[in-house]
Structure 1
Amino acid sequence: MHKLGPSLMCADLGNLERDVKALDDAGVDFYHIDIMDGKFVPNFTLGPDFVKTVRSLTKTPIDVHLMIEQPELYIDLFADAGADMISIHQESTENLQRALTEIKSKGIKAGVAINPATSLEFLDYVYDVIDYIVVMTVNPGFAGQKFIPTMYDKIAKLHCKLEQFERPIDIQVDGNIGANTIPKCQESGADMYVLGTSAVFNSENSLEENVNNTRKLFI
């Protein structure tokens, strides 16, 4: 089953409760919340109080993507705020394995996010402590960027690698995910789709209509 997760940095933050209710009614599978510190990526967004607010509005799983330096210092903060999943970047920490183990010790899912130019080889040493892998299909930091076409091959290679494991590890794709990119991401082996302005938050239709239209893209 393919899981759809609206990226709440693209929501109408002045009407967050309204939007979350509409998305819940449309049956989304998770909410994706980007946390940026202005250092690891050149932008600032959201924080633990925002995660707490979303948690108070919905029972749908919350996926927190930490695009910050030294994410291991903030795992407790976001776990306590209500995260069900936390992903961190290999490039942002000096001890990835330890940080992932810390996430799992909180009883939540641990993920690794991979920038477009990052090789897959480092994953060989953390597959045993991860539940999902976020393939960034744009360079992280800003919404509205163009999908990097070479990422299809990266998703496919990762999918082939994961087939050897006896337990499921999901592939999440993040960055310009919409009608023009979802079919080939699905073909390449993606499982989870982070949806922003290219799909769910397209102002031409209601949020419910956009979710329904997106689901129709899957074979």
Structure 2
Amino acid sequence: MLHFCPGCRNSDIEKRILDSEDGHATAECPECGERFQFRYLPLYSLEGAPGVGKSTTAGLLDGEICPTVYEGDLHIDLTNGNLSWEAICDLDFRVCMTLHAAGRRALFVGGVHPHDIDDSPETRYFATIERCALVCDDADLEERLRERAMAQGDIDFMLDVNRWYRDEGTDHGIEVVNTSDLAPNEVAREVRGWVENSEQ
């Protein structure tokens, strides 16, 4: 399905989403009025600043949980410098839409900033968005980012993102896991538990 109208091939992503039932919903084309069904599944999002352990956790979860793990960094080398951050986020969500169309729930793993999910029109194609953020202590994150030779301005920004998730994430309905005092397999176990609880 993606976002193409089967009647007129209109590709406007901002179609109206109408009724939903049993894992499907109906979209209405703003151009010709055609209505068509698509799979309407929850999206799982594992978020956080660079260096908190998302990729390590994704590697431990891949093939071990029901949702298909999709890591946004998979194509970051192709998109950096070629697409805006907003376009990269939209692309990630479209990949997840494609997984849903194939009947597979998706766990998106990426450095989504706190506001990006709500801002993207692609998210209308997900029944709900279940969010979990990995965080760590400031000193740990700063050390990890310096090992990646990040500029100080980027480090300061990522520390702010990490603090937002750590201090305000739960107030916004986000599950928060602090990786500073946990081994990688323990972090993966916490995230696996979050996914399983969200599926109930």
Fold-level similarity (TM above 0.5): no
Q: Which has the larger radius of gyration?
A: 2
| Normalised TM-score (structure 2) | 0.34
* Structure (1 or 2) with the greater helix fraction: 2
| Normalised TM-score (structure 1) | 0.32
Compare relative contact order (CA 8 Å, sep 6+) and give the higher one, 1 or 2: 2
